[in-house]
Structure 1
């Protein structure tokens, strides 16, 4: 989204002049005279205010036709957490069951306002809400591992099971006993050259890999929870660790085929389409028509396109390799510029 609110533009421009790293991820600035876009902390010479546009995300700037700055490398660095966020997360992980108040954050030289802004931008919640969810997720993990319910409740700071159950119902919609019977989907945020992504995995395998700003992400997560009978928690397991490693190798040009366990609920037809996607060789493309023909139904082009659009595991299930019959790039949930980048990346590292 292009930012048009004048007070916001004035604040962002001052942050740009000051190279304020706490604003990294809050906006990107596009320079109309050069056609490039940068992050707040860019070291390049600062443009005049009348020569810039501000956008909420990298995707918005790419859609507007701007290309990444070679000085600040926004597609690589805009998604990296700034130092104050890394420090706050380190404090949280060191003592996950202790609440960090705003006054304590200030005593440690951390700005609660900057943390709030960054977490609202990247997680759609405040840092205090993130802390609360982190403690809930830790409790759920302990319950899943077989720890006694009363011990988990008391260790989480609750004086009774009723208070603990009330908190779980408010946040997850299920009691502690119900949570013990449900599955768990762990979710982790990854940094990639194309912007941040969320990877989710059940005990069986990766079930989602999407760019964080995808509009349908909330709907996809709700659908996964329903289909898998599971609760999404901010954590990681062996499947998310493998996905992070292999995705890093892919972006480095060191991997052409993924070897990940997948857990992708869908209709029989959708699963067949997704399987056919994985059979498209690295650095090659297929049309929707060709995909339909490979499935044995040349008339099912639109159905194939819809199933492609329902793919929740980007890159690993490579729907970016499907193009129009005329060779033109067509719809991609991550944006056509990302699709173009992925295809060019694979061409660069193909054998």
Structure 2
């Protein structure tokens, strides 16, 4: 698992030294390029703050990074399974192709076998890998001010309709229907636990959710209605501040989030969200404890609903709330992410001697 790896500084030194002892056991994701590499990669070394480390290529792909074309981090998996090698080669040859299980059959493979093999090796299916590789590129082009046609080309979609459909599944509307002078800006955020979408104004963060959260499209729709359709794609100062704070959080250097927030919820929910932000990193609270803390001990269920309605993940740390029996309970981003976030935050707990001081 990611958190069994050595600390960030040790891995970064290994990257600089091209230490082959970590080959196949650790990979570096570089936020400035969007690629992931072996630690022995001969490419120019990235800055420390642009690096995150994972123990599997699947975790790198799930976080939205593409394999490096110099060190070929997928090769060991491909060489160990001819079917995987054939499918990866086909994907490299036709990255713009809209793959389906019918195409897998045409190549002479059983779709269920390919699905299991990719899931086992990479943590995602072949079809998920193909879609992930294309959509992020297009989104980032538009976020940087590029035109829709440029984004379509960068995402290597054959047709405008296919590109529009992929965007609509994610954001709830096609790229051509996004406002060109928006009040709210959607942006792509890569993290070690998967890709996220942020929505910011020029002054505040309004939403931060994982792209696979089922409620994302509904939440985006509500924000779009509130800004009277003026939702677009782009980068803002709060959005860039958020990315820097998330990078520090996952690198283990800071758990402080100072990006200004804009809440969208009833006063009671906002009261709960404020209380969530007072929970220290590495500490958990139950729903009943939150209810008592805000002076509403009878409102445990209402606290649970407010917790589930939070649409600013990580920054408003609803993952720090667990059941009274210690169970993780529900989490919109998936219980596996909740577990990993709590594991990450253990490093932010004070040392035992510090906790013992009055």
Fold match (TM-score > 0.5): yes
Q: Give the aligned partner of residue 338 of structure 1.
A: 337
Return 5+ residue gaps in structure 1 as ranges: 1-12, 28-39, 41-46, 62-67, 142-183
CA 1:279/1:92 → structure 2, altered by over 3 Å: closer, same or farther?
Answer: closer
Cα distance between partner residues in 2 of 1:224 and 1:207: 8
CA 1:79/1:344 → structure 2, altered by over 3 Å: closer, same or farther?
Answer: farther
Q: Deviation digits for residues 51-72 of structure 1, max 9, x if unmatched?
A: 56459xx9xx7xxxxxx85xx5
Cα distance between partner residues in 2 of 1:335 and 1:221: 19
CA 1:270/1:23 → structure 2, altered by over 3 Å: closer, same or farther?
Answer: farther
- Aligned-pair Cα RMSD in Å: 4.4
2:215 is aligned with 1:202: no
Q: Deviation digits for residues 292-345 of structure 1, max 9, x if unmatched?
A: 110112111000000001101000000000000000110100111110111111
Q: Is the 8 A contact 2:143 2:233 kept in 1?
A: no
Cα distance between partner residues in 2 of 1:339 and 1:245: 21
CA 1:285/1:79 → structure 2, altered by over 3 Å: closer, same or farther?
Answer: farther
CA 1:50/1:266 → structure 2, altered by over 3 Å: closer, same or farther?
Answer: closer
Q: Is the 8 A contact 1:257 1:282 kept in 2?
A: no
Give the SS at the match of 1:261. coil
Q: Give the aligned partner of residue 234 of structure 1.
A: 233
Cα distance between partner residues in 2 of 1:340 and 1:247: 17
Cα distance between partner residues in 1 of 2:328 and 2:184: 33
Q: Give the aligned partner of residue 285 of structure 2.
A: 286
CA 1:191/1:294 → structure 2, altered by over 3 Å: closer, same or farther?
Answer: same
Return 5+ residue gaps in structure 2 as ranges: 1-81, 351-358
How many residues are matched? Answer: 255
2:181 is aligned with 1:112: no
2:358 is aligned with 1:313: no
Give the SS at the match of 1:17. helix
Cα distance between partner residues in 2 of 1:123 and 1:344: 34
Q: Give the aligned partner of residue 150 of structure 1.
A: none
Cα distance between partner residues in 1 of 2:302 and 2:345: 27
Q: Give the aligned partner of residue 223 of structure 2.
A: 224
Aligned ranges 1:1-351 → 2 under 5 Å: 17-19=86-88, 20-21=91-92, 53=115, 69=121, 82=133, 86=137, 96=146, 99=149, 112=158, 120-121=165-166, 124=169, 129-130=174-175, 132-133=176-177, 137=179, 139-140=180-181, 184-227=183-226, 229=228, 231-351=230-350
Cα distance between partner residues in 2 of 1:80 and 1:250: 28
Q: Deviation digits for residues 153-187 of structure 1, max 9, x if unmatched?
A: xxxxxxxxxxxxxxxxxxxxxxxxxxxxxxx1111
1:223 deviation in Å?
2.1
Q: Is the 8 A contact 1:249 1:255 kept in 2?
A: yes
Give the SS at the match of 1:265. coil
Q: Give the aligned partner of residue 161 of structure 1.
A: none
CA 1:326/1:84 → structure 2, altered by over 3 Å: closer, same or farther?
Answer: closer
Q: Deviation digits for residues 114-137 of structure 1, max 9, x if unmatched?
A: x976775565279xx53x35xx54
Cα distance between partner residues in 2 of 1:240 and 1:339: 23
Q: Is the 8 A contact 2:249 2:255 kept in 1?
A: yes
1:244 deviation in Å?
1.3
TM-score normalised by L of structure 1? 0.59
Give the SS at the match of 1:257. coil
CA 1:292/1:112 → structure 2, altered by over 3 Å: closer, same or farther?
Answer: same
Give the SS at the match of 1:200. strand
Q: Give the aligned partner of residue 31 of structure 1.
A: none
1:227 deviation in Å?
4.1
Give the SS at the match of 1:275. helix
1:188 deviation in Å?
0.4
TM-score normalised by L of structure 2? 0.58
1:204 deviation in Å?
3.5
Q: Is the 8 A contact 1:79 1:191 kept in 2?
A: no
